[in-house]
Amino acid sequence: MRNEPGETVEQQETPTRLEPSEGSDLSDRSDQAVQTSTTEEHPWRRNPLDSFRYALEGIIAVVRTQRHMRFHFFSVVLVLLMGFLFRLDKREMLVLLFTISIVLIAEMFNSAIEATVDLATQEYDPRAKFAKDIAAGAVLVATLNAIVVAWVLFMGDLRLEQIRLRMERAEPTMTIAVTIGTILIFVIVSLAKVLATRGKVRLFHGGVLSGHSALGFFFAIAIIIVSGNLLASILALLLATLVAQSRVEAKVHTLREVVIGSLLGVGMAALIYWLMPR
C-alpha cells in the first residue's frame, strides 16, 4: 500500500515465529538434528573394533580379487613349511617372516594404488601408467629382496651341511613324514589351482588337478610302506581308485586331472620315503 505525503506509519508488520507444539514434527526433527550433530562431534564414541574389522575385510578382499596376492600367500605358506622342515632357528624365522611381510605389504599397496587410479580415470593416461608402474616396481624390489634373503638363509655358507646334520639328528617318524607330505600336497594343489584358475578359486572343487586323488594315493602308498601287508595294500589302492573314480563320475574333474593328482600323490610318497633315514 502506498503512503501519501504527511502520513506516518504507526504500525509495522513483524514476522511471526511459530513455536513448535508438543509432540509436533518440528520438535522431532530438531531432536534428530541434535543427535546427529552430537554423533558427528564425537567420533571417538564409535566402536573401536570397527577399524580392525575393516582391516580384515581389506585383507580378505585383496586375496579374493587379486591373483598375484593369492600366489604370494601360498608362497608364504610354502616358505614357512620349508623353514620348519630345514629347522631354522628363531632369529632366522623372524628374518624370514619380516621379509615375507614386506612383500605382502608391497602387493597390498600396489593393489590399492591400481584401484585408486582406475577410479580416477578409465582412459589411457601416461600419469596413470607411471603410478601403476612404480607400484609394480616396488613389489618387484620387495620380491627380489625376499629371494636373496631366502637364498642366504637356506643356501648360505655351509648352510646345507648344517641342515643335513640337523635332519639326521632329528630322526623323523613316519607320522611326521605323512603330516609333512599331506601339507605339501595341499599347498601344491592350492598353488596350482591359483595359478591356473581365473576369477574365483574353489580349492576343494574342480581345478587343474584333483587334490582328493592326490591325497588318496598318497595315503595308499604310505599304508603300503608302513604295513607291509598284501591285503592291506590292495584295499588301500582300491579305496584310492574309488576316490579318483568318484571325482570323474561326479564330473568334478576330468580323467586327465585325476591322473595328474594321483601321480602327485604317488610321487610325494616316494619322495618322502626316499628322504627318510632308515
Report phi then psi at 254, rounded to 5: -85, 170
Instruction: Note the pLDDT of residue 211.
Output: 85
Q: How is domain 55-170 classified at the CATH fold level?
A: Helix Hairpins (1.10.287)
pLDDT interval class at 18 (50, 70, 90): very low
- pTM confidence score: 0.49
CB count within 10 Å of CB 138 equals 17
For residues 173 and 226, which has the higher predicted lDDT (pLDDT)? 226
Residue 243: exposed, middle, or buried by beta-carbon count in 10 A (0-12, 13-18, 19+)?
Answer: buried
Rg of the chain over Cα atoms, rounded to whole angstroms, equals 33
pLDDT interval class at 228 (50, 70, 90): confident
C-alpha 109, offset from chain centre: 15
pLDDT tens digits for range 23-49: 444 445 445 544 444 444 445 556 777
For residues 43 and 247, which has the higher predicted lDDT (pLDDT)? 247
Give the range among 175-184, 203-212, 232-241, 258-267 with minimum mean pLDDT.
203-212
Catalytic residue among 92, 107, 123, 249: 107
CB count within 10 Å of CB 254 equals 14
| Sign for the pseudo-dihedral over CA of 256, 260, 263, 269 | negative
Catalytic status, residue 257: no
Q: Which three cell numbers stand for residue 238?
A: 582300491
